[in-house]
C-alpha cells in the first residue's frame, strides 16, 4: 500500500485534501501553510507547480500561478520547497502540474527528483490517457502514484481505463469546467461516484468547485476524499495575515466532513 493509499485505510469519514500554489503569495507562505493545514486536520496536500497556461484552472489559481511565476518560482524551486516541507510533515504530498514543466525538466529526472524531495504522487490534468504510458512507467520506477482525473462527461470506456490505471486514488471532477469557487455544485455527485465504483474499488476523491463546508459535507458521503483548493488559495492571497482565516476555514471544512456521517 502506498503512502497516499494508506490515508484512506480504515477511515470512518472522508479525507480532506488541500491544494495550494507553490510560491503564492510567497514561497515562505507555502512553507508555513502545510504544517498549518496539517494542524487543522488536512490529510493530504497538493502542491501546485505554477504554469503560464493552466487550462484546467479558474481565475483564482490562474492569478496565483501568475504571481508565483513573477516571484521566480520554477519546477526546481518547487522541488526544493517540497524537500523543506517534507522535513516538517509526514503527510502525503502530491505535485499538481501540467505536462509541459515535466517535459521541459525531463520526465525521468523530474520523477526521480520528486521522489527524493518527498513527493508521493503526481496529478497531470492535461496528460491524455493515450499519451500517458511513458510517464506511468517512469512514476512506477520512482515509487510515485500517477493519479488520473475522471469528469462527469467521461464515457464508460475512459472511466474504465482511468480507474484501472490510476494509483493512490481516482480524482473525480465534480463539474464540467475549470477549478474555482462556486455558489452551487451540480446535482448527481453520488451517482457519478457510483458509476466509477463499478470499475474500481480504489479510493475516490472529488474536487473542482468545492469551496464551502456545506459543499464538502454534501460530497463527503459518497467519496473517500474531498479536495479543496481555490478557496484556500484565495484566503492566502487576500490579506497579509492569512493564517487565522485559513485556519478557521480549513477547520470548518474538517468539522463538516466529520459530521457528514461518512
Cell of 135: 510517464
Q: What is the CB-side half-sphere exposure of residue 36 using CA atoms within 13 A? A: 19
CA 218 to chain centre: 19
The domain 14-258: what is its CATH number?
3.20.20.70
Where do the domains of the chain lie? 14-258
Q: What pLDDT is attached to residue 262?
A: 47
- Positions annotated as catalytic residues are 46, 57
Cell of 130: 493515450
Structural contact between residues 170 and 148, judged by C-beta atoms closer than 8 angstroms: yes
Q: For the chain (length 262 residues), average pLDDT per consecutive 10?
A: 93 95 98 98 98 83 95 98 98 97 98 98 96 98 97 93 97 67 60 93 93 93 95 95 98 95 55
Q: How many angstroms separate the CA atoms of 40 and 34, rounded? A: 10
Q: How many angstroms separate the CA atoms of 228 and 230, rounded? A: 7
Q: What pLDDT is attached to residue 12?
A: 87
Kindly report the backbone phi and psi dihedral angles of residue 47, in degrees, each rounded to the nearest multiple of 5, phi listed first.
Answer: -105, 110
Q: How many angstroms separate the CA atoms of 33 and 250, rounded? A: 11
pTM here is 0.94
Amino acid at each position: 500500500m502506498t503512502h497516499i493509499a494508506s490515508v484512506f485505510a480504515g477511515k470512518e469519514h472522508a479525507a480532506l485534501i488541500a491544494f495550494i500554489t507553490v510560491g503564492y503569495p510567497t514561497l515562505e507562505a507555502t512553507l508555513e501553510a502545510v504544517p498549518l493545514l496539517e494542524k487543522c486536520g488536512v490529510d493530504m496536500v497538493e502542491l501546485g507547480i505554477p504554469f503560464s497556461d493552466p487550462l484546467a484552472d479558474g481565475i483564482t489559481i490562474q492569478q496565483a500561478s501568475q504571481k508565483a511565476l513573477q516571484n521566480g518560482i520554477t519546477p526546481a524551486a518547487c522541488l526544493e520547497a517540497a524537500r523543506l516541507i517534507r522535513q516538517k510533515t509526514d503527510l502525503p504530498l502530491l505535485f499538481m502540474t501540467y505536462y509541459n514543466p515535466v517535459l521541459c525538466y525531463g520526465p525521468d529526472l523530474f520523477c526521480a527528483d520528486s521522489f527524493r524531495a518527498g513527493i508521493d504522487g503526481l496529478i497531470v490534468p492535461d496528460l491524455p490517457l493515450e499519451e500517458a504510458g511513458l510517464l506511468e512507467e517512469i512514476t512506477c520506477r520512482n515509487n510515485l502514484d500517477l493519479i488520473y482525473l475522471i469528469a462527469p462527461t467521461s464515457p464508460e470506456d475512459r472511466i474504465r481505463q482511468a480507474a484501472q490505471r490510476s494509483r493512490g486514488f481516482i480524482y473525480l471532477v465534480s463539474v464540467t469546467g475549470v477549478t474555482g469557487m462556486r455558489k452551487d455544485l451540480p446535482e448527481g455527485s453520488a451517482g457519478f461516484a457510483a458509476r466509477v465504483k463499478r470499475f474500481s474499488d480504489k479510493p475516490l476523491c472529488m474536487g473542482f468547485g468545492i469551496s464551502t463546508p456545506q459543499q464538502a459535507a454534501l460530497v463527503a458521503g459518497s467519496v473517500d476524499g474531498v479536495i479543496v483548493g481555490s478557496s484556500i488559495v484565495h484566503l492566502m492571497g487576500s490579506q497579509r495575515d492569512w493564517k487565522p482565516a485559513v485556519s478557521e476555514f480549513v477547520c470548518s471544512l474538517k468539522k463538516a466532513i466529520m459530521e457528514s456521517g461518512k
